[in-house]
Amino acid sequence: MARVSILGGGTWGIALAVLLCNNGHEVTVWSAVEKEIQMLREEREHKMLPGVKLPDSMKFTMDDEEAIKGQSILVMAVASSFTRRTADRISSLVAPGQIIVNVAKGIEEATMMTLSQIIEEEIPQADVAVLSGPSHAEEVGRGLPTTVVVGAKSRETAEYIQNVFMSPVFRVYTSPDILGIELGGSLKNVVALAAGIADGLGYGDNAKAALITRGITEISRLGTVMGGRAETFSGLTGIGDLIVTCASMHSRNRRAGILIGQGKTYQQAMDEVQQVVEGVYSAKAAMKLAEKYQVQLPIITQVNKVLFEGKNPAEAVKELMLRDKKSEVSVASWS
């Protein structure tokens, strides 16, 4: 049995907490938000995960020391915009070699750092890993079959986390490609906004398929230049996560995109979704990375223009369709 603390009381953290409790581990949920902890403790349910009952064994706390000290694994499940603040807050309490598993997705706009890089900068003594894949909280919380990947610097750490999280309904693969895993998980949210915008405009399955396939091309193009492995982007945390985020109504990024396609601003869309829309925060960072590494990202570029420059979504699609003619496979040659 492992002692695991979930840092963050959002839907993803709570879904993982339920999974880990069902796996027989001792689970504590920490949040800095008093109303959140009170709701979870008293109602034994998260209001955004109706019907998912929290096990009696699950503990809740706002006390930093209780959540950090002596725990086998710390699961960083706060929204990406709060990752640095939370890491800084707990840094002095984390023991050398203590495992922190980041399960949030995003890129910090100011520094262009992934979330695990932020955690390592703020808590250099920690053993930082990531867990990601096509895994909506609504389904994990209900025990529906899900498959993810854990990335870590050492095989030993990856396999330990794999053993803690693995269950008959939650299959976990391992990988050394932490960077590729995080880039896939972050950039797919921006493409999912584009997929939602297309839905909001009333476009069909053809457009959705094109956005998914060309979107993974953009993600892979940037990710491999930055040092991620090509096979990561064709796997669960690349194309797998992209498909589910572009196609599912569980996806807050797709739902926000639909509203934007219907004429709302990104702020109005986020207010209506009532959850953090990570793609909005990752979009600007993606453009900065594209400039730094001199990589073309046509879809992500148009998403930025729609979000932050007031560009008409239909005009953005038209511009994508009328770009210069190209071959799909750049390395192919005519016989």
Catalytic residues: 188
Neighbours of 177 (CB within 10 A): 22
102 burial (CB, 10 Å; 0-12 / 13-18 / 19+) is: buried
In this structure, what DSSP letter does residue 80 have? G
Q: Between vectors from CA 14 to CA 158 and to CA 161, what angle results, nearest 5°? A: 10
Residue 111 tokens read as: 């520094």
Here the contacts of 291-297 (C-beta below 8 Å, separation 24 or greater) are 292/112, 293/222, 293/225, 293/226, 295/221, 295/222, 295/225, 296/218, 296/221, 297/218, 297/221, 297/222
| φ and ψ at residue 161, rounded to 5 degrees | -65, -40
